[in-house]
Amino acid sequence: MSSASVREDTALTRLVRYRTIDLVTIATLAVAIGVTFWAWGKAYAGLSALAAFSYLPSVGLLSGPWLLAGVLGGLIIRKPGAALATEIAAAAVSGLVPGGTEWGMSVLVSGFWQGLGAELVVAVLLYRRFGLPVAVLMGAVAGAVESVYEWFAYYEGVFDTGDRLAHLGFFALSGAVIAGAGGWFLTQALARAGVLDSFGPGRDLVNRTAV
pTM here?
Answer: 0.91
pLDDT exceeds cutoff 80 at 113: yes
DSSP 8-state assignment for residue 130: -
The mean pLDDT value for 54-68 works out to: 96
Residue 206 domain flag: no
pLDDT at residue 27 above 70? yes
Range 86-104 average pLDDT? 91
Q: Taking residues 183-206, what's their average pLDDT? A: 96
For residue 103, what pLDDT is reported? 86
- C-alpha distances in angstroms, 173 versus 9, 44, 77, 176, 181? 39, 17, 24, 5, 11
Domain assignment present for residue 192? The answer is: yes
Instruction: Please list, in sequence order, all residues whose beta carbon lies within 8 angstroms of the beta carbon of residue 136, skipping any fewer than 6 positions away.
Output: 176, 177, 180, 181, 184
Which range of residues forms the domain containing residue 194? 19-201
Question: What is the reported pLDDT for 191?
Answer: 97
Total tally of structural domains belonging to the chain: 1
Residues 28, 64: Cα–Cα separation, whole Å: 20
- Please check the confidence at residue 10 and state whether its pLDDT lies above 70: no
**Sign of the alpha-carbon torsion through 48, 52, 55, 60:** negative
> What mean pLDDT comes out for the span 175-184?
98
Instruction: Report the first-to-last Cα separation within the chain, whole angstroms.
Output: 35
pLDDT of residue 45: 86
Q: Give percent above pLDDT 70 in the chain.
A: 93
13 domain-assigned:
no
Alpha-carbon distance of 115 to 68, in angstroms, equals 9
Helices 68-77 + 82-96 axis angle, to 10: 140
Q: How many Å is the Cα radius of gyration of the chain?
A: 18
When pLDDT is averaged across residues 187-207 and rounded to a whole number, the result is 95
Which of 3-7, 115-119, 128-132, 160-164 bottoms out in mean pLDDT, i.e. has the lowest? 3-7
Tell me whether residue 25 is in a domain: yes
Q: Evaluate whether residue 8 is within a structural domain.
A: no
Is 209 part of any domain?
A: no
Residue 9 included in any domain: no
- Residue 159 backbone dihedrals phi, psi, to 5 degrees: -90, 135
Compute how many other C-beta atoms are within 10 angstroms of the C-beta atom of residue 190: 18
- Looking at residue 34, its pLDDT comes to 96
In the chain, the amino acid numbered 112 is: F
Q: Mean pLDDT throughout 138-147?
A: 98
134 within domain boundaries: yes
Residue 2 has what pLDDT?
57
Please give the pLDDT value at position 6.
44
